[in-house]
């Protein structure tokens, strides 16, 4: 049983659709996760411990100075203590007699969360150690950190370089992680591009083969699995080509061989004179002749005509003009850029068959051809009897006729729609029958560009 979770569905929607970003994401996510975990453990286990020891040492020195200043008997002794702290402990000490702090606080009032990451340890140890009112100074002087302590007879200012209060290894770690991540990402992009490129070539070749085009520059390349898939595609394409050629040659050969005896039969019937029974035979022979011509047309439709750049708009206009010359009322609406790669003879045969069907069974024909995104859309509407919905799929099969709407006197062997569908499919498109707004048949063609 498959369990569907809303979170998984949401994640699938957010996932990239293409292979390259997906593969890149597979590399980046673990890399970022591992480095984030390393940074977190380093901060919790090492950096905080080292910073705590450093801050404890500096605050201990400040407390030593504080105690010494509190017990000093005169100004000269305090000056000596200040100079000694400067020389030996790298502390800047200044005592201002009689001064008062404006807003001093006690240790219990300190919230470490109000301070930055590097100042937090210093504030914690000051709050624990100093019993006098004080003010922590973290921003009045660049790269220095200090505290002002309110003594009974004045204010003691003590400051030191901030580099004594925290370890720089966290910065080095972060910079090294970012640098190595960028290097790994750069290498991954280079390798992934080389691995994804053969897959794109394979997809492009499969698309071109599906449209009936050739891909002469396509060669199996890439990883072993991609090479195997490419070789299988080429073998499948060659097998399909041989199968189509064999079927076409067999059908063309049979149809061609039947033309000779039919011609002899027509000559013999012409020499027998006029008779009702002979007329029936002559009609049957003519029907057979039309069927043989239809078979040959179907066989020609299977020929592997090379694809080439063409302007489908010009080809559609030629077919529309040919249909008008045969007496049909054709209204055409051709718009947009209809340039494509295709087989001009096959497409012309396809459109001619469709227009001929409409001309035989309708009085008015509407022809629409336009560009829709990455497709060329062609629509043929007529006001004829149409085709029932339950028979439309069946009419694409070879040698099928709709006798009630298209009687035997209309000619044809039932191959027009079959040839049209084969041509459209060889171009990677699709053809569909429907109901026209005029009351007859609508034929829709979609050809990829």
Is 447 strand, coil or helix? strand
Measure CA 155 to chain center: 68
> Has residue 241 got a pLDDT over 90?
no
> Has residue 145 got a pLDDT over 50?
yes
Q: Which candidate, 296, 299, 252, 291, places its Cα nearest to that of 413?
A: 291
Confidence grade of residue 208 (pLDDT, cut at 50, 70, 90): confident
All CATH 3.30.450.300 domain ranges in the chain, comma separated: 14-167
- Percent of the residues in the chain that have a pLDDT greater than 70, as a whole number: 88
| Structure token digits, residue 12 | 């699938």
| Per-residue confidence (pLDDT) for residue 302, from 0 to 100 | 52
| Per-residue confidence (pLDDT) for residue 382, from 0 to 100 | 92
Pick the more confident residue, 243 or 441: 441
Pick the more confident residue, 269 or 176: 176
Mean pLDDT of 257-273: 77
| Per-residue confidence (pLDDT) for residue 379, from 0 to 100 | 94
What does the mean pLDDT of the chain come to?
82
| Per-residue confidence (pLDDT) for residue 406, from 0 to 100 | 42
| Per-residue confidence (pLDDT) for residue 373, from 0 to 100 | 84
| Per-residue confidence (pLDDT) for residue 127, from 0 to 100 | 87
Q: Which residues pair with 135 in a beta bridge?
A: 148
> Has residue 171 got a pLDDT over 80?
no
Pick the more confident residue, 299 or 243: 243
> Has residue 131 got a pLDDT over 60?
yes
> Has residue 238 got a pLDDT over 80?
yes
| Per-residue confidence (pLDDT) for residue 1, from 0 to 100 | 47
Angstrom distance (rounded) from CA 54 to CA 31 = 32
Angstrom distance (rounded) from CA 245 to CA 215 = 19
Pick the more confident residue, 217 or 332: 332
| Per-residue confidence (pLDDT) for residue 284, from 0 to 100 | 76
- Biggest CA–CA distance in the chain, Å, is 154
| Per-residue confidence (pLDDT) for residue 408, from 0 to 100 | 44
| Per-residue confidence (pLDDT) for residue 401, from 0 to 100 | 66
All CATH 3.30.565.10 domain ranges in the chain, comma separated: 305-448
Label residue 108 exposed, middle or buried (CB < 10 Å: 0-12, 13-18, 19+). exposed
| Per-residue confidence (pLDDT) for residue 137, from 0 to 100 | 87
pLDDT digits (tens, 9 = 90+) for 29-73: 888 888 888 877 776 677 777 878 888 888 898 899 888 888 887
pLDDT digits (tens, 9 = 90+) for 327-381: 889 999 999 889 998 888 888 888 998 998 889 888 899 999 999 888 999 999 9
Find the range with the poorest average confidence among 171-175, 312-316, 393-397, 407-411. Answer: 407-411
Highest mean pLDDT among 91-95, 116-120, 290-294, 295-299: 91-95
* Residue in this structure with the two tokens 């080509």, named with its chain if needed: 241
CATH 3.30.565.10 fits 305-448, yes or no: yes
| Per-residue confidence (pLDDT) for residue 355, from 0 to 100 | 92
| Per-residue confidence (pLDDT) for residue 404, from 0 to 100 | 44
Angstrom distance (rounded) from CA 28 to CA 299 = 55
Label residue 244 exposed, middle or buried (CB < 10 Å: 0-12, 13-18, 19+). middle
Q: What is the fold, at CATH topology level, of the domain defined by 14-167? A: Beta-Lactamase (3.30.450)
Measure CA 73 to chain center: 81
| Per-residue confidence (pLDDT) for residue 75, from 0 to 100 | 83
| Per-residue confidence (pLDDT) for residue 412, from 0 to 100 | 53
> Has residue 76 got a pLDDT over 50?
yes
> Has residue 415 got a pLDDT over 50?
yes
């Amino acid at each position: 049983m498959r369990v569907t979770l809303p979170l998984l569905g949401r994640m699938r929607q957010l996932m990239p659709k293409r292979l390259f970003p997906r593969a890149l994401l597979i590399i980046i996510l673990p890399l970022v996760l591992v480095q984030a975990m390393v940074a977190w453990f380093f901060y919790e286990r090492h950096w905080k411990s080292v910073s705590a020891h450093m801050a404890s040492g500096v605050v201990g020195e400040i407390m030593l100075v504080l105690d010494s200043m509190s017990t000093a008997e005169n100004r000269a002794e305090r000056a000596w203590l200040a100079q000694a702290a400067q020389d030996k402990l790298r502390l800047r000490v200044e005592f201002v007699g009689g001064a008062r702090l404006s807003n001093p606080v006690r240790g219990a009032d300190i919230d470490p969360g109000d301070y930055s990451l590097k100042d937090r340890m210093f504030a914690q140890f000051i709050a624990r150690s100093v019993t006098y009112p004080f003010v922590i100074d973290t921003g009045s002087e660049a790269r220095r950190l200090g505290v002002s302590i309110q003594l009974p007879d004045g204010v003691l200012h003590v400051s030191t370089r901030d580099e004594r209060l925290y370890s720089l290894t966290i910065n080095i770690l972060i910079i090294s992680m970012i640098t190595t991540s960028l290097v790994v990402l750069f290498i991954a992009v280079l390798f992934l591009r080389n691995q994804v490129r053969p897959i794109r070539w394979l997809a492009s070749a499969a698309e071109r083969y599906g449209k009936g085009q050739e891909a002469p520059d396509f060669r199996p390349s890439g990883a072993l699995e991609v090479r195997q898939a490419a070789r299988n595609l080429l073998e499948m394409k060659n097998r399909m080509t041989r199968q189509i050629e064999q079927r076409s040659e067999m059908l063309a050969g049979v149809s061609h061989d039947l033309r000779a005896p039919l011609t002899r039969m027509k000559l013999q019937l012409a020499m027998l004179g006029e008779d009702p029974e002979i007329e029936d035979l002559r009609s049957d022979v003519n029907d057979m002749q039309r069927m043989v011509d239809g078979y040959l047309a179907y066989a020609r439709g299977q020929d592997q005509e090379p694809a080439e750049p063409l302007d489908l708009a010009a080809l559609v206009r030629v077919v529309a003009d040919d249909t008008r010359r045969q007496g049909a009322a054709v209204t055409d609406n051709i718009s947009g850029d209809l340039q494509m790669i295709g087989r001009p003879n096959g497409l012309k045969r396809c459109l001619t068959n469709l227009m001929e069907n409409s001309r035989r069974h309708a009085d008015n024909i509407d022809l629409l051809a336009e560009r829709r995104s990455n497709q060329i859309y062609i629509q043929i509407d007529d006001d004829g009897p149409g085709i029932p919905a339950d028979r439309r799929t069946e009419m694409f099969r070879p040698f099928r006729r709709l006798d009630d709407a298209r009687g035997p006197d209309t000619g044809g062997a039932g191959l027009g729609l079959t040839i049209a569908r084969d041509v459209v499919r060889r171009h990677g498109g699709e053809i569909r029958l429907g109901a026209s707004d005029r009351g007859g048949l609508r034929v829709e063609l979609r050809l990829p560009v």
